[in-house]
Amino acid sequence: HHHHHHHHRGGHGHNHGNKVPYNGYNSEEYLDRLEPNGNIPADKSNCRYGAQETAIQDKTQDKDWRSTDSTDHHDRVQRQLSVSSDSKLLDDDIREETRVIMRPKKPPRPKSEVFLNKQDPHPRRKRFSAFGGDSPFGKSDAYIKLEPLGEGSYATVYKGFSNLTHQRVALKEIRLQEEEGAPFTAIREASLLKELKHSNIVTLHDIVHTRETLTFVFEYVNTDLSQYMEKHPGGLDHRNVRLFLFQLLRGLSYCHKRRVLHRDVKPQNLLISDCGELKLADFGLARAKSVPSHTYSHEVVTLWYRPPDVLLGSTEYSTSLDMWGVGCIFVEMVTGMPTFPGIRDTYDQLDKIFKLLGTPTEETWPGVTHFPGYKPHKLGFYRPRKLGHNFPRLYDIVDGETIANAFLQLNPEQRIGAEEALQHPYFAPLPRKLYELPDETSIFTVEGVHLFPEPNRQNK
């Protein structure tokens, strides 16, 4: 069976501090903006949402980055592909940015100015108390590291305990020496997460920097969708599927409006709190250009949730990239079975997809034959079938098959966008109030919205 890495992190933290556009700074400046310590909110993991929490929510709407051309729901997200040597993808803005954040050849020297800046008019001595003493390189006694929870794409995640707030946290530890790209990916994740404030996106509370490691402190979230589905085999309660899908789309829609792609949407990266709150986690790949094929510990990254355009070698990434994974996850929640469980390689994965959806042609998907990976001798030729043919369970749900179809379009141009998917008739049974919530308010604050007990289908 496949391995589950539950990267546990999440939460509702409200991070104060100046709003910083996450593309104008080099990595050291980023870190400087990520205020250490002391901003972990009181524990809200009990999932009892009171009226008063809703009242405090910040009503200010973020600027909307939607493309002016409303016909294209998948904004080309090229600003996000900033760090790339492939300059044909980059406009001038981005080329500028690439200069600012060139990938460091070696991990930065421990005494990087950020942390020991003598000229700083506001000495930050107090803030470092959490590291044990004045030096940021002391033993960090603010957090106690407990057992490992899993391997991320460039780090190890541990369960931890905060001595500041006396609550559990998740510690994502990046070893600075070991891999050239890691600190870089880490800083990209940090700077993205600092800007993304939404109840369906994991919250970064703190960063601890020592000589050997960079540690991100996230709120601890109990489980992830992969483990949740394993615990309730045979498919989830349809009402819960709807709530999980709604939250996933709500988080993605927020990202996509800000022109951020997640790029690794899979059940292990969707954290689930005790009351059923779903949080997108592991934004490590969010702005990297190539999608890695191996994790830090050389486990193979699963291809099950990768869209056919990426599998065929397309680099024209847009928000549609994330939407394919959403479709795969929806079908998996309904049926309890992975939608396209490829076992060997890219071509095996494509074979699984085409067997069901048909092999694309120039007629059905203009331009498909020009992808580097389009090799007819390696691809079987199949006629398209109905999704319900393989997954009859989809017919048990009103609009279940139609929404699955909208996500699982081979041609990325035809895939439904997150915002549009939230308006799909499949969600008609949900209260309209869910559509008016402020970004940082949980859907479970709305009356009558709660997780249902899963049917216990024991296939033992």
| Spatial CA neighbour of 224 closest among 163, 157, 289 | 157
Q: Is 58 one of the catalytic residues?
A: no
**Geometric angle at alpha carbon 259, from 93 and 69, rounded to 5°:** 90
Catalytic site residue from 264, 282, 309, 322: 264
How distant is the alpha carbon of residue 276 from its chain centre? 17
Torsion angle, alpha carbons of 404, 407, 410, 414, to 10:
120
Contact 208/215 with Cβ under 8 angstroms?
yes
Site of tokens 């990916």: 185
Contact 115/136 with Cβ under 8 angstroms?
yes
- Type of residue numbered 403: I
Decide: helix, strand or coil at residue 62.
coil
Contact 28/112 with Cβ under 8 angstroms?
yes
The answer to whether 172 is a known ligand-binding residue is yes
Q: Is the dihedral of CA 301, 303, 305, 307 positive or negative?
A: positive
Decide: helix, strand or coil at residue 262.
coil
Report the distance separating Cα 81 and Cα 89, nearest Å. 8
Contact 232/404 with Cβ under 8 angstroms?
no
302, containing H or E segment: none
Contact 285/85 with Cβ under 8 angstroms?
no
- Type of residue numbered 290: S
Site of tokens 């990202």: 255
| Spatial CA neighbour of 154 closest among 133, 132, 172 | 172
298 in the Ramachandran plot: left (φ > 0), alpha (ψ -120 to 50) or beta? left
Question: From the annotation, which residues make up the binding site for ATP?
Answer: 172
* Residues known to be catalytic: 264
Question: From the annotation, which residues make up the binding site?
Answer: 172
